[in-house]
C-alpha cells in the first residue's frame, strides 16, 4: 500500500528556539523529511530564531549537522539536504528585548500561511505572543504552536492560556501533545469509528476493564531538574495518558472535525471521578548496588517526586459506569512499551467440559514498539484427542500489514503538517488542558501534603508492589511489561 503525500500550501514557519534540543532532534529533521517526500513545497520557508547572534549560513550548517545525525544516510540525502537548507533563514532575537523583531517582519511574506512555533520554555510563550502582536506579525490567519509542559497546575495553565489568547484566537493556537501525532493513536479512532465490529461492544456491559500503560526503560537522564519538579503525574499522566484515556473512552463525535472531537474528549475528562488515595500507587526507582537510583540522579536524598504512578480511574457516565480504567507509567521499567489493552468480559458460560472458566478477549493497541493491534482469542487446540482450548492472538503489526511504504512518520511530522493545513484535531484545546489540570491538581496536592515517600521499586521491574496490589485487590492482573 503506497502512502499518499499531499503537498501543503506554501508557508513561512518561524521556529523560536531553533538552536535548542527539540528543534535539532525533532522539528528540523521532521521538516526535512516532509521536504524529502515532497509534502513541504519548494517555496516554503523556515526562519530559525534564537538568542545567539549567527549568520543564516552558520544556522544552515548547524541544521545540516543535526539532520545528518538523525536522518538516514542515503545517496539522495545530501542533494535533498542542500535544497532543504536553501529554504532556511535565521534571525537572532532575544525575545525579552526589542531587537530583531523588525528583521523578522522584513523576512515574512504576506501571501502564504504563517506559523510561529515556540520551541522555548513556557515562561516565554506570553511574551513572544505579545511581541508578535505588537509588531503586527500576528495576522488573523497566522498560527502559534506551543510545546509542553502547558503549565504545572490549573492556575499556571490559565495564565498561559490568557497570555496566548491576548494576541491569538483559540482557533490559531496549537498546543502540542506529540502522542496525538502517533499513527496508532489516530488508528484507535479509525478502529473504533470506521469499523462496525467494536463500537457496539465498547461499553461497560461488554468491557471488564481497560489498562493503559506507558512504560519507559530509561530514567530521567538530562532532565533531572525539570523532572524532579514535575514527576510522573505532571510529565506523563496530565497529558499523554489523559489523551489516550480520552480517545479510548469518548463518545463517537458526530463529525471528524477539530471541535467535535475535542468536545467529546473534554466530556470524558469532566466525567472523571476524583481518585481516592487507596486507588493510587506511587513509586521511585531504587538505587542499584553502585547507586544510580532516582535520588542519586536528582541529587536530593529527600525528594518525594514519583518516577512511577499507577491508578484506578472511573469515567462516571452511562457508557463506562462500573468499568475501571487502570493507568500506569514509569521510568526505568522492564521495557519501553506503550499500549492500551481493552479486556472484554469473560464468556458467561462454557459448554466445553473440563476446560475450566473461559477467558475474555483482550484487544491490545500497541503504540510502541512495533505499532499494531492484537486481539487475544480462544480457539480449539488443533489435533485429535478431546476438545481442548488454546489462546491465540490475531496479530496485526502495521509494519507487516502495510509494508515499508507505510513506515509511520514521526509524530512531529504529522503535527507540523497539520499546523500548516490548519487542522487542530490532534492538538489540545485550552479548555481541555484546563479540565485535565482541574482533575489532576487535587491528586498532586495530596501527594505534596502527604508525609509518605513513593514506594521504591527495582530498576527493570514492573514498578512497586503497591501497583500490583492495586490490581490484586480487584482480582485482576496487569499485563506484563515487555511480555
For ligand NAD, the binding residues (CB under 6 A) are 17-23, 50-51, 93-96, 119-122, 147-149
Min dist. Cβ of residue 330 to ligand NAD (A): 18
Active-site option among 33, 135, 206, 240? 240
> Minimum Å distance from CB 97 to ligand NAD?
8
**Which residue's CB is nearer to ligand NAD, number 224 or number 251?**
224
| 18 is known to lie in a ligand binding site | yes
**Residue 390 annotated as part of some ligand binding site:** no
* Minimum CB distance to ligand NAD smaller for 59 or for 320: 59
Closest distance of CB 426 from ligand NAD, Å: 16
**Annotated binding-site residue? 17:** yes
State the nearest-atom distance from the C-beta of 290 to ligand NAD, in Å.
Answer: 28
The least distance separating ligand NAD from the CB of residue 440, rounded to whole angstroms, comes to: 18
Nearest distance, CB of residue 67 and ligand NAD, angstroms = 16
Nearer to ligand NAD, 148 or 297 (CB): 148
Q: Which is nearer to ligand NAD, 20 or 252 (CB)?
A: 20
Residue with cell 468499568: 323
Check whether 452 is labelled as a binding-site residue.
no
Residue 178 is labelled as binding a ligand: yes
349 is in an annotated binding site: no
* Residue 289 annotated as part of some ligand binding site: no
Q: What is the 3-state secondary structure (H, E, C) of the chain?
A: CCCCCCCCCCEEEEEECCCCHHHHHHHHHHHHHHHHCCCCCCCCEEEEEECCCCCHHHHHHHHHHHHHHHCCCCCCHHHHHHHHHCCEEEEECCCCCCCCHHHHHHHCCCCCEEEEEECCCHHHHHHHHHHHHHCCCCCCCCEEEECCCCCCCHHHHHHHHHHHHCCCCHHHEEECCHHHHCHHHHHHHHHHHCCCCCHHHCCCCCEEEEEEEEECCCCCCCCHHHHHHHHHHHHHHHHHHHHHHHHHHCCCCCCCCHHHHHHHHHHHHHCECCCCHHHEEEEEECCECCECCHHHHHCCCCCCCCCEEEEEECECCCCCCCCCEEEEEECCECCCEEEEEEEECCCCCCCCCCCCCCCCCEEEEEEECCCEEEEEEEEECCCCCCCCEEEEEEEEEHHHHHCHHHCCCCHHHHHHHHHHHCCCCCCECHHHHHHHHHHHHHHHHHHHHCCCCCEEECCCECCCHHHHHHHHCCCCCCCCCCC
Under 8 Å between Cβ of 46 and 10: no
Which of 93/144 has CB closer to ligand NAD? 93
Question: Is residue 240 flagged as an active site residue?
Answer: yes
Q: Is 151 annotated as a binding residue?
A: no
Cβ distance to ligand NAD smaller for residue 147 or 183: 147
Of all residues in the shown chain, the one whose CB is closest to ligand NAD is: 20
Known binding residues? 17-24, 51, 94-95, 148, 178, 182, 216, 235, 331
Known binding residues for NADP(+)? 17-24, 51, 94-95, 148
Known binding residues for substrate? 178, 182, 216, 235, 331
Q: Could you give the residue numbers annotated as active site?
A: 240
Amino acid at each position: 500500500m503506497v502512502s499518499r503525500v499531499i503537498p501543503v500550501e506554501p508557508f513561512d514557519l518561524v521556529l523560536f528556539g531553533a538552536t535548542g534540543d527539540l528543534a535539532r532532534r525533532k522539528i528540523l529533521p521532521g521538516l526535512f523529511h516532509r521536504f524529502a517526500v515532497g509534502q513541504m513545497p519548494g517555496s516554503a520557508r523556515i526562519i530559525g530564531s534564537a538568542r545567539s547572534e549567527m549568520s543564516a549560513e552558520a544556522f544552515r550548517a548547524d541544521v545540516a549537522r543535526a539532520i545528518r545525525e538523525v536522518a538516514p544516510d542515503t545517496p539522495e540525502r545530501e542533494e535533498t539536504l542542500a535544497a532543504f537548507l536553501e529554504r532556511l533563514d535565521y534571525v537572532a532575537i532575544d525575545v525579552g528585548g526589542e531587537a530583531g523583531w523588525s528583521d523578522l517582519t522584513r523576512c515574512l511574506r504576506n501571501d502564504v500561511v504563517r506559523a510561529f512555533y515556540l520551541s522555548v520554555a513556557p515562561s516565554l510563550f506570553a511574551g513572544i505572543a505579545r511581541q508578535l502582536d505588537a509588531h503586527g506579525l500576528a495576522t488573523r490567519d497566522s498560527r502559534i504552536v506551543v510545546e509542553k509542559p502547558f503549565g504545572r497546575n490549573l492556575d499556571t495553565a490559565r495564565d498561559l492560556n490568557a497570555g496566548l489568547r491576548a494576541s491569538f484566537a483559540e482557533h490559531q493556537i496549537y498546543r502540542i501533545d506529540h502522542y496525538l501525532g502517533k499513527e496508532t493513536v489516530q488508528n484507535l479512532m479509525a478502529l473504533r469509528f470506521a469499523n462496525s465490529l467494536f463500537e457496539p461492544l465498547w461499553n461497560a456491559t461488554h468491557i471488564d476493564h481497560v489498562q493503559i500503560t506507558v512504560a519507559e526503560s530509561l530514567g530521567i537522564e538530562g532532565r533531572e531538574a525539570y523532572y524532579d519538579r514535575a514527576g510522573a503525574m505532571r510529565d506523563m499522566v496530565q497529558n499523554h495518558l489523559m489523551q489516550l484515556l480520552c480517545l479510548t473512552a469518548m463518545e463517537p463525535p458526530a463529525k471528524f472535525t477539530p471541535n467535535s472531537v475535542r468536545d467529546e474528549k473534554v466530556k470524558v475528562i469532566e466525567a472523571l471521578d476524583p481518585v481516592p488515595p487507596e486507588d493510587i500507587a506511587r513509586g521511585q526507582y531504587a538505587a542499584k548496588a553502585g547507586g544510580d537510583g532516582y535520588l542519586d540522579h536528582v541529587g536530593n536524598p529527600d525528594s518525594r517526586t514519583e518516577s512511577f504512578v499507577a491508578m484506578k480511574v472511573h469515567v462516571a457516565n452511562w457508557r463506562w459506569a462500573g468499568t475501571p480504567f487502570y493507568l500506569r507509567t514509569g521510568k526505568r521499567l522492564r521495557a519501553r512499551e506503550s499500549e492500551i489493552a481493552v479486556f472484554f468480559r469473560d464468556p458467561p458460560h462454557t459448554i466445553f467440559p473440563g476446560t475450566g472458566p473461559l477467558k475474555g478477549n483482550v484487544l491490545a493497541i500497541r503504540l510502541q514498539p512495533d505499532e499494531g493491534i492484537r486481539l487475544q482469542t480462544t480457539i480449539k487446540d488443533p489435533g485429535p484427542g478431546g476438545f481442548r482450548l488454546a489462546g491465540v492472538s490475531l496479530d496485526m503489526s502495521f509494519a507487516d500489514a502495510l509494508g515499508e511504504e507505510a513506515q509511520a512518520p514521526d509524530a512531529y511530522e504529522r503535527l507540523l503538517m497539520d499546523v500548516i493545513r490548519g487542522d487542530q484535531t490532534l492538538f489540545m484545546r485550552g479548555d481541555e488542558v484546563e479540565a485535565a489540570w482541574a482533575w489532576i491538581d487535587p491528586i498532586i496536592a495530596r501527594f505534596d501534603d502527604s508525609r509518605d515517600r513513593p514506594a521504591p521499586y527495582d530498576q527493570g521491574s514492573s514498578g512497586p508492589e503497591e501497583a500490583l496490589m492495586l490490581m490484586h485487590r480487584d482480582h485482576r492482573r496487569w499485563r506484563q511489561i515487555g511480555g
